[in-house]
Amino acid sequence: MISKNLLKQIASYKQKKYRQEDKVFVVEGEKCVNELLHSDFEIVYLCATKKWFQRGIYSDKFIEVTEKELERISNLTTPDKVLAVVKQKESKRIEIKDELYIALDCINNPGNLGTIIRLATWFGIKNIICNKESAECYNPKVVQASMGAIFRVNIFYTELDKFINTIDKDFPIYCTVIEGGQNIYNAELTKKGLIIIGNESRGINSELRKRINRPITIPNFSENKEIESLNASIASAIVLSEFKRRV
């Protein structure tokens, strides 16, 4: 059984300030929790219906809840049998080496960030660098959109302008731009590099633009040229797919 105080505490983690105070985040749904159980993240509470645990899954953090109690603490419109409270991990500072990285400049839509995290793991990207204006990676919508991929990638928040300036000037720094970039399908792509994805409406900031040495463009093949830009996660999928296809 779960106490009223604990229900209230877990429900409070819908708000960022309480997640930050206790350094925890919430994971929901069978797929995401199964990914969690196979990771090295520390579970604080595992709240699930009795039916879910009858499948033979064991955890010493298990707390049985009713469907109504699950609804109270869930971030989902339709709660999915199980919810876990998990300790946040200290992200590892990233040292740029001969591999591919993603950097995100003001990706403040949680769904986009979660999808990009999922894409990163699919395409074998181990590290994502975010500026501090990007969405919080432990936002429930980010965690949900990542579908468990958040447990497999290192996400490092920093002042992106300053971080970029620590990188060797010859290191390939790609960025998706609307105009002035080389068509991605003709551009030279390398096995190592930093791919910057900017805000959909504003692009990347002027300081970052100074360091871009390989701007790339995803061409618009439509007759309707009024479409100004692609969704950030869709652009990320196209770019990563083209990189991995060729290199």
Q: Residue 119's pLDDT is what?
A: 98
Q: Candidates 3.30.465.10, 3.40.470.10, 3.50.50.60, 3.40.1280.10; correct CATH number of 100-246?
A: 3.40.1280.10
Task: Tell me yes or no: is domain 4-87 CATH 3.40.50.970.
Answer: no
How many Cβ atoms sit within 10 Å of the Cβ of residue 127?
21
Q: Are 219 and 183 contacting, i.e. CB atoms less than 8 angstroms apart?
A: yes
| DSSP-derived 3-state class of residue 136 | coil
Q: Residue 58's pLDDT is what?
A: 66
Q: Residue 230's pLDDT is what?
A: 86
**Whether residue 225 has pLDDT greater than 90:** no
Question: Angle formed by the axes of helices 110-122 and 232-246, to 10°?
Answer: 10
Q: What angle do CA 145, 149, 150 make, to 5 degrees?
A: 85
Interval 137-144 mean pLDDT: 97
**Whether residue 240 has pLDDT greater than 70:** yes
Query: Please, how many CA atoms are within 13 Å of residue 94, restricted to the half-sphere of its CB?
Result: 27
Q: Are 192 and 132 contacting, i.e. CB atoms less than 8 angstroms apart?
A: no
Instruction: Give 170-174's long-range contacts (Cβ < 8 A, gap of 24+).
Output: 171/96, 172/213, 172/214, 173/211, 173/212, 173/213, 173/214, 174/212, 174/214, 174/215, 174/216, 174/239
64-96 confidence digits (pLDDT tens): 999 999 999 999 988 888 999 999 998 888 999
Query: Domain residue spans in the chain?
Result: 4-87, 100-246
Cα 16 to Cα 70: distance, rounded to the nearest angstrom: 20
Interval 155-184 mean pLDDT: 93
22-58 confidence digits (pLDDT tens): 999 999 999 999 999 999 999 999 999 888 877 766 6
Cα 48 to Cα 108: distance, rounded to the nearest angstrom: 31
Interval 204-210 mean pLDDT: 84
Q: Residue 218's pLDDT is what?
A: 93
Q: Residue 233's pLDDT is what?
A: 95
Interval 1-28 mean pLDDT: 95
Indicate the pLDDT class of residue 201, thresholds 50, 70 and 90.
Answer: confident
Cα 82 to Cα 185: distance, rounded to the nearest angstrom: 44
